[in-house]
Copies of this chain bind each other. A is one copy, B any other.
Amino acid sequence: MKKERHTHIFALLERIGRLLTMEAHAEGLLPVHWEALRYLQRANRFSMTAAALTAYLGSTKGTVSQTLKALESKGLVKKRVKTNDRRSNHLSLTAKGRNLLRRDPLSDTVKAIEQLGTSTQTELNNGLEDLLSARLAMQNRQPFGQCRDCRYFAKRHPDGEPHYCLLLKETIAESETDSICFEQQPG
C-alpha cells in the first residue's frame, strides 16, 4: 500500500469483479443471465426494456437480445409488446424468475457485506458511488440511480397522493422510489 495506491484499489476491484463473475455459473445460468435477472428486479417499470438493460450492462443490443432469448426460453422472463410503441417490449420477471433469484449464487457476497462494520459499509458505499459516477461521467453513460434521488422526481405529501416524474409525466408509487431508472439524473 506504499506507492501506487490507486493501482492497488483497481486491482481489488478487478479481482472482486472477477470472482463475482466466476461464482455466477450456477443453476444452469451464466453470469450475464443473473445480472439481467437482478437488473429486472431492481428496475422501475419504465426501465424494463432491452435497450435499458443494454445501457446498464454496457453491452450491445445483439448480445442482450440473445441473453433475453435464453432467459425467455427458460421461462424466467416474459416479453410483452408495448401498446404505445409496438417496436418495444416490456420485460418482466416470471414467478419462476423471481423464485430463482432467491437462489442467487452471489448472495454469499451480500452476506459478506452485511458482516462488515457499519462505518466500513458507509465508507465503501460512498467510495464506490463516487468512483462509479466519476467513471460513468467520463463515458457519458447513464447512472441508473434511484427515482428518489432524481432531479425529475416530485415528492408528494406522505398522505394519499402519489409521487410524480416530471420527465416522463407519470405517477410513481412509493414502492417504486427505490427502483433504478434509465432516465435518472441525480440532482
Interface residue ranges, A against B (CB under 8 Å) = 1-2, 5-23, 35, 38, 42, 56-59, 106, 108-110, 112-116, 120-121, 123-132, 134-136, 138, 141, 144, 178
A80 CB to nearest B CB, Å: 25
Q: Is the CB of B11 within 8 A of A38?
A: yes
Q: Which of B21, B35, B178 contacts A2 (CB 8 A)?
A: B178
A123: chain B residues within 8 A (beta carbon): 123-124, 126-127
| 10 closest A-B pairs by CB | A17-B17, A124-B127, A123-B123, A22-B58, A12-B128, A6-B113, A112-B135, A112-B134, A6-B114, A10-B110
Q: Is the CB of B23 within 8 A of A121?
A: no
